[in-house]
A and B are shown apart, each in its own frame.
Chain A
Amino acid sequence: MDPRNYQIAALSTFISIGVVTLGFQIAWINAVVIVAVALLAQFCLFQQGRSYGPYKSALISALSLVLLLRTDVVALAAVTALIAVASKRFLCIKGCHVFNPSAFALVVVTTLFPAAYLSPGQWGALGLLAFVVAGIGLLVVTRAQRLDVTLAFLGSYALIVFCRGSYLGDPPAIALHQLQSGALILFAFFMITDPKTTPASSIARVAFGVTVAVVSAVLQFYFFISTAVIYALVLLAPLVPVFNFYSRSFCREKYSVLSLRT
């Protein structure tokens, strides 16, 4: 099974859960505009021949944006989708795009425009459960090819949070509360695992996962950025070639998630 099909189904399910059960205010016009702009940009900016694959990747980026981006301004939704796809085309090293498209677009747009924002605290227990279940599903579909980076990130982030709690003398309930965040789990399974923007070798991916966790914790606890994980991923993405260089592996995948095809 093409993991991209699975990802598209999972993201659509999350959006449905968010809107139907959790009361997310996702305007349908935003969703339509984001998907349309992303697919159109993919068509205009890339030569993809007859393959549907690239459109699936663009759709995954678009659905991630529908799920995470909040704004009342439709134009901003369109700009975000355009930035996501364009970043693949123009921010590229040796055929590999540097940034996770949706993470990069979200960071750029929410930093520049106050009218666009992320809503990290709204998943609740149901969202958390859905992400864990779907995340495990993704591991099954991809034959756990990116399990290393997920575990390295989650494990080291949890360790940091517990160590910090222990240093502060806080009860474990606080650390547990901080880890039971839907946004964190979504990120660990569905964003940091993007093969195109993570290192190619397993050992480098583990190192990358740990680094992202450390930077996330610093941004979260010392700079008080509530969406620290996404910022950390975008900040560290330019270092991926360095990780690759030291592990003597190179990005060969032509399109995002293509290497996960089983």
Chain B
Amino acid sequence: MKNTLFCPFGRNSKNNRIRLMTIKIFFLLLLTGTSQSVFSFCGFYVAKADTDLYNSASQVVMVRDEDRTVITMANDFQGDVKDFAMVVPVPTFIEREQINVAEQALIDHLDAYTAPRLVEYFDENPCRVYRRELSASVALADSVQTKSFDVSDEALGVTIEARYTVGEYDILILNADESAGLIQWLGDNDYKLPQGAESVVGSYLKQDMRFFVARVNLEAQQSTGYTHLRPLQIAFESPKFMLPIRLGTLNADGKQELFVYALTRTGRVETANYRTVRMPSNLEIPGFVKGRFEEFYRDMFTRQNKAENEKAVFLEYAWDMAWCDPCAADPLANTQLRNLGVYWLADTGVDQNNRRLQAGQNVFVTRLHLRYDSKTFPDDLKFIETGNRTNFQGRYVMRHAWDGEMRCDAAMDYLAMVRQRNIAAGNQLASLTGWDRSEIAELIGVADLPDREKWWRRIWSPDQ
């Protein structure tokens, strides 16, 4: 029921039924990746026993308010947990109480809430007016993960500033005089580092950053009773509002996907050192795309990314967290937001109905999506929080023609209108995705799909 919405959409006079469908694009990308284990946050996974591990797609939630940051790193590691290790550069020393383990469901919910959405409208019978309703569903995939552990220490100019066990993770905060010592220490301790790590590690050390190293503590992990690795959270205070992505490019197999969800008080977040571009949105696409929405969105993303020379960050969602329209999933409750680090919210624990009525929770969510490698994104991502609270969402519309019986004069006009509409939507689709025009023409049931409607057809053969 929550997904059945009636949107005041446009100037179309027809009363339409709409249906909303969201697709878990992130998981799709993941599943079509490699059969081996995947993922990293902006750090990199280091394998023990020479297991080849790749980075593919990451999800990061960043809560930012003034100099305070809470970062939540989704963990979709898929492999033997004892092979799991994560190295993340952090700007400050991290105390035990600044680290937490969150629930994956929080990120899944945020992903679903902010995901690009497909909206369906069903034309009414042009000869009569009556209504039917249709319920809708949100397809939610679930990620399945696994876990592991190990630790040791030594000198080599490497300082283990702290050592904690948090949830299923053993965590070290490392500092070092120079990168060579740190690299050797990590190597001695069975952390397999990718080629080229030394210069990147050295650069971060000189910028006074520490290294947050996490592995799975098998005993602790068993006692948690979880079958997957939960997201790690770190809270710190630093003027740096950035995401270190350089390490992540080192052991990656090709380009990586990164989704950044920013939760702020003031407004939309954008990158200060790369262009942030809105995804084309509120566009009509043909009905047959319904079953191929994931493919549509992925191809559109690829094409838009190419148009920006693969150097842009894409805005997929920017919205006041208090509401949504149409909703791909309910807005997150205050409790959920607090668990993600939105510390300025009162944890009222209100129920769903009350929450939906709260206007302006003072939380603004931004969803950014980028596909990067070291060539197109050589530098780390630097963000700024803007004062812009304009809502934006990736929203795609399909209109289904009335397919029942029509007995009236208006039917001919209606059919001509539908045909024009289909051609326009087909053209839109071709230009967004680069899909083959003749294939689109066939699927929408027209002879061909000209780039532009030939104007002379309107003179002599208006029905063609």
Contact = CB atoms under 8 A, between A and B. Distances in A.
Contacts of B275: 22, 121-124
Contact of A169 (B199, B277, B374): B199
Interface string A23-43: 101000000000000000000
A117 B240 CA distance: 18
Contacts of A177: 273, 378-379
Interface stretch (B10-18, B52-60, B111-119, B200-208): B200-208
A254 B384 CA distance: 38
B390 A121 contact: no
Contacts of B271: 121
B276 interface: yes
Interface string A135-160: 00000000000000000000000000
Interface in B306-343: 308-309, 311-312
Interface string B371-396: 00011001100101111111000000
Given A117-B384, A226-B382, A226-B384, A72 B390 contact: yes
Most buried by A among B207, B271, B278, B379: B379
Interface stretch (A58-66, A79-87, A108-116): A108-116
Contacts of A23: 277-278
A123 B378 CA distance: 17
Contacts of A181: 273
Given A117-B384, A117-B388, A124-B312, A178 B272 contact: no
Interface in A162-178: 167-171, 173-174, 176-178
Interface string A173-196: 110111001000000000000000
Interface residues of B, number: 37
A122 B276 CA distance: 6
B319 to A, nearest CB: 15
Contacts of B203: 168-170
A125 B310 CA distance: 12
B272 A120 contact: yes
Interface in B71-119: none
Given A121-B270, A121-B271, A122-B276, A178 B207 contact: no
B384 A173 contact: no
Main secondary structure of the interface of A (DSSP, over half): loop
B202 A168 contact: yes
A119 B273 contact: no
Contacts of A226: 272-273, 382, 384
A78 to B, nearest CB: 16
Nearest to A182: B275
A4 interface: no
Given A115-B387, A169-B202, A226-B384, 16 more contacts: A73-B387, A114-B267, A117-B384, A120-B384, A121-B270, A121-B272, A121-B276, A122-B275, A124-B308, A124-B312, A125-B311, A168-B202, A168-B203, A169-B179, A171-B378, A177-B378
Interface of B: 179, 199, 202-203, 206-207, 239-242, 266-267, 270-278, 308-309, 311-312, 374-375, 378-379, 382, 384-390
Q: What 3 pairs across the A-B complex have the smallest Cβ distances?
A: A226-B272, A115-B387, A173-B378
Interface of A: 22-23, 25, 70-73, 113-117, 119-125, 167-171, 173-174, 176-178, 181, 223-224, 226
5 contacts: A119-B386, A122-B276, A171-B199, A173-B378, A226-B382
